A and B are shown apart, each in its own frame.
Chain A
């Protein structure tokens, strides 16, 4: 019954070693979001896709990239992770409509060593 799935749930990577986080959805929603959430903080939007249209937040570092090969999948690539990139990464989806109610996945906890 899982609707927004994130893999892996926990990821450990080394400083500077590229890492990819995965998100998939069974809701057929046309909007997908990636958030970064650090400890005791609110989620911070990195970017979102409206269908295939990519929308980057102005303050998202160039180190963060994303791909959406189809409606169901979306990837977050961190090209050269730094210690400051250790965080929970949340994927969310929404259907086009008046409220864009977002459905969140369980998150991937990224540790950088």
Chain B
């Protein structure tokens, strides 16, 4: 069985300051890990993915995440927040090679203050 825990339901940062959204996972197999972003009334957009290659993954819009197997973590970071980053972020785990075993975290709402 696999699971995802997003440690913060809400995060607030000031524009221009770093962003850290935390995610821990549990998986029996070699997982694929994803971060998706969802703006209000929109679909989910893939920010980045880890699929057993480089542990530091760079994504779109300046986001990156580091896969740490020893800590079972996949935290999302960005050096400098922008107002347009305000959205809901989902950490997702998928067992490698499985079409359906996609497990979502509960989401983190990011607020960016001017």
Contact = CB atoms under 8 A, between A and B. Distances in A.
Question: Among the interface residues B41, B44, B49, which one has the most CB atoms of the partner chain A within 10 A?
Answer: B44
Interface stretch (B66-74, B75-83, B100-108): B100-108
A107 B98 CA distance: 24
Contact of B100 (A45, A88, A103): A45
B43 A104 contact: yes
A55 B102 CA distance: 14
- The interface size bin for chain A is 20 to 34
Interface string B38-51: 00011111100101
A98 B97 contact: yes
Task: Determine chain B's interface SS by DSSP, over half rule.
Answer: loop
Contact of B43 (A31, A41, A90, A100): A90
A74 to B, nearest CB: 14
A99 B41 CA distance: 26
Contacts of A48: 99-100
A52 B52 CA distance: 29
Given A55-B100, A94-B99, A101 B43 contact: no
B34 A42 contact: no
B41 A109 contact: yes
15 contacts: A40-B107, A41-B106, A55-B99, A90-B43, A92-B44, A94-B99, A98-B51, A98-B52, A100-B102, A101-B34, A101-B49, A104-B44, A104-B45, A106-B42, A109-B41
Given A42-B104, A102-B44, A107-B43, 12 more contacts: A31-B99, A42-B105, A43-B44, A45-B100, A50-B99, A90-B43, A92-B44, A98-B51, A99-B32, A99-B96, A100-B32, A102-B102
Interface of B: 32, 34, 36, 41-46, 49, 51-52, 90, 94, 96-100, 102, 104-107
8 closest A-B pairs by CB: A42-B104, A104-B43, A104-B44, A99-B32, A99-B51, A106-B43, A107-B43, A105-B43
